[in-house]
Chain A
Amino acid sequence: MFAYSVRRLLVSIPLLIVATFLVFWSVRTTFDPTAKLATSRDSARVRAEMRERLGLDDPIVVQYGRWLGDAVTGDLGTSTRTRQEVSSMVWPALGNTVQLIVWGFGVSLVVAVGIGVFSAVRQYSIPDYVFTALSYVGLAMPPFWFALVASQLLGPGLKDALGLDDPVFYVVGLHSDDGGLDLDYLQHLFLPVLTLTVQIVASWSRYQRSTMLEVLSTDYIRTARAKGLRERVVVGRHALRNALVPVVSVVAIDAGLLFGGLIITETIFSIPGMGRLFVEALTAGDAETVLAWTLVSAVFVIVFNLLADLAYGLLDPRVRLS
């Protein structure tokens, strides 16, 4: 399994390089870091000097090679927007983002599997129809609009409805004090995580439902029931474990969706994470930060896919990773 992981990662390296090169080319030909010097005195000379210093006149491949070489050693350049080291901006942002991902991912998985299994076991019951209807709406709902509506209704709306002084759920940031895992943190976390998960839960739960239904009609489930096993054991141990396998592959495909969803969630709830960093950097034409973001998100997607593959092997002993 170790050898498999290493090989998978090696195979993804060319992918990573080509993808980041395309973004590099795109960003380098779009943003001119010397543009802000256009109004300075003797601008032509100053700009030429700066281009020389930044190596912007070299062929794009040479520039890319230099950037990649620096990036591998952890030097992501200096932001043209804040004049800080990009790596010093990325790390704290990544910290916030990872919190959202872990919560968002964990909540989605538990809720989606729960709903899916429940709907399958009680097929054509009223809750099943309700979940089906909700999943249609959840899939069709643009996440950014859901976030707006949720921040209105459950933020100030809920506060006014209950006549409270402080909101139940906050719509800005992750903490109002100095941090730590407490009630305040959860009050901040609720709406962003809800936004991040609603579409994913809608799609995963449908998928879980259909794979669960398929498994429940197999012979070995009939055997398990015929042996006189309790329904909880049949569903929980025999059916669920097998029904999880196909879901894992869908989870892997949605990794990009999750990371992309952060762009919206963090922007709307003003959480200083990777997604917001990306939007701010791209809006301001901060090439170095956009490139760093691309690299980090691509690595994330690749690692996530690998983890899903490994989980696949763990859940289904028939799958041999070699």
Chain B
Amino acid sequence: MSEAPPRPEPGVVDAVDAVVGDLLPTAEAVPRTQWQLFRRRFVRHRAAMAGTAVLLLLLVACFGADWIAPAEKGKQDLLAEPAGPSWDHPFGVDQLGRDYLTEVLYAGQVSLRIGLAVAVISTVVGSILGALAGYAGGWVDSALMRLTDLFLVIPQIALLAIALKRFGSSPLVITLVLAALFWMGVARVVRSQVLVIKQREFVEAARAAGASDLRIVARHILPNCIGPITVNATLAVALAIVAESTLSFLGFGVQRPDTSWGNMLTDARGFVGTDLSFLIYSPGLMLLLVTLAINFIGDGLRDALDPQSTR
């Protein structure tokens, strides 16, 4: 049987109709695409916009550190006295005479890169496997559910630490190990969405029109899960960054000479209660800012992608 002629996806049309009907007064019913509607709602979400601005600023500052940072990476000035924040050194000078702002920015590159990579990998893998489990059901589904149950039995941070001991702790391995644990959360969410969506009429229509299973999942079901997937992917960035920094803080994550916000705090920990205690603040403040910004963006995305949801 030949493919149906190209026409708007039934599911998408449904969703747009529902949204347009809710949002716009009928008098000025200008047709808007789903994307435009989403953008309008997101831009109006003040916290999410603030989060976006902060996150972009931090990304530019960290990845542009080569141009922005006030000093050279890791450059020690053994004659410089360690000192608290000043105009010349906004984050102070550490015990080895390094400009602490520079150190924090370069460490951020590692933390942010790991967080972003984990989110991308775990989202892709989790979405595919979750969709498969939800759509196919049967043993695939029970295998996924048992597997995720299994990993709930042992505290995550311990599992990650053991895995890093086992497989090494280069940034690449850390990314893969974190992704190996994080995909399961996404998979569970996608699975539960797919279970609902596959019962809908437009899926039945697609099947009646002769679409293959692959086409149904890829073109009809997954696009309708885009909301939860996006929100989860966003929050995964924050979770991954915190997990990485916690592991690095405990000594199982990023190892010297690589620096991340986590292992900078390991070094700073020794200065609690001394004159150098200011060293504990800035790397953690960056972690807090990134996580807060991402959580706000996640909130904004949730509200913008799913207008029916209430908080």
Question: Residues of A at under 8 Å CB distance from B?
Answer: 12, 15-16, 18-19, 22-23, 26-27, 29-30, 136-137, 139-145, 148-149, 151-152, 155-157, 171, 210, 253, 256-257, 259-260, 263-264, 267-268, 278-279, 282-283, 285, 290, 293-294, 297-298, 301-302
Contact of A297 with B272 in the complex, beta carbons under 8 Å: no
Identify which of residues 135-174 in chain B touch chain A, using a CB-to-CB cut-off of 8 Å.
149-159, 161-163, 165-166
**Number of residues from B at the complex interface, CB < 8 A:** 41
Do the beta carbons of A26 and B154 come within 8 Å of each other?
Answer: no
* Residue B287 interfacial (CB < 8 Å): yes
Are A140 and B153 neighbours in the complex by a CB distance under 8 Å?
no
The one of B154, B265, B277 in contact with A298, judged by C-beta atoms closer than 8 angstroms, is B154
A142 lies within 8 A of B166 (CB): no
Question: Does the CB pair B292–A15 fall under 8 Å?
Answer: no
* B259 on the A face (CB < 8 A): no
Name 10 interchain pairs, CB-CB below 8 A, sorted by A: A19-B151, A23-B154, A27-B166, A140-B292, A148-B268, A149-B284, A264-B246, A278-B158, A297-B155, A302-B153
- A140 vs B51: C-alpha distance in the bound complex, in angstroms? 12
Q: For the complex, is B269 an interface residue (Cβ under 8 Å from A)?
A: yes
Q: Mark B274-296, 1 if CB is under 8 A from A, else 0.
A: 00010011011001100110011
A263 CA to B246 CA, complexed, in Å: 10
Task: Verify A15–B153 contact, CB threshold 8 A.
Answer: yes
Residues of B within 8 A of A157 (CB): 277
| CB–CB B156/A256 < 8 A | yes
CB of B238 closer than 8 Å to a CB of A: yes
Q: Which of B149, B156, B162, B280 contacts A15 (CB 8 A)?
A: B149
Which residues of chain B come closer than 8 Å to A145, judged between CB atoms? 245, 265, 280, 283-284, 287-288
Cα A148 to Cα B281 in complex, Å, equals 9
Give the residue of B155, B162, B280 whose beta carbon is less than 8 angstroms from that of A26: B162
Is chain A's interface secondary structure helix, strand, loop, or mixed overall? helix
Q: Which residues of B contact A19 (CB under 8 A)?
A: 150-151, 153-154
User: Chain B: which residue is nearest A206 at the CB level?
Assistant: B311
Q: A264-B246, A297-B155 are in contact. Are A140 and B288 (CB under 8 A)?
A: yes
Please tell me if the beta carbons of A301 and B280 are within 8 angstroms of each other in the complex.
no
A301 to B153, CA, bound (A): 6
Task: Report how far A122 CA is from B152 CA in the complex, Å.
Answer: 36
**Selected contact of B158 from candidates A149, A171, A260, A302, CB within 8 Å:** A260
Give bound CA distance, A10 to B177, whole Å. 31
Known: A139-B295, A140-B291, A283-B251. A156 touches B273 (CB 8 A): yes
Closest B residue by C-beta to A260: B155
B249: chain A residues within 8 A (beta carbon)? 144, 264
> Which has the most chain A C-beta neighbours within 10 Å: B150, B158, B161?
B158
17 additional A-B pairs beyond A149-B281, A283-B251, beta carbons within 8 Å, are: A23-B159, A140-B292, A142-B242, A142-B246, A142-B287, A145-B265, A148-B265, A152-B273, A152-B277, A156-B273, A260-B157, A263-B157, A264-B246, A267-B250, A279-B250, A297-B158, A301-B154
Neighbouring A residues of B287 by C-beta, 8 Å: 142, 145
Partner of B288, one of A137, A151, A263: A137
Nearest residue (CB) in A for B287 is A142
Which residue on chain A has the smallest CB distance to residue B243?
A142
Interface status of B252 (Cβ within 8 A of chain A): yes
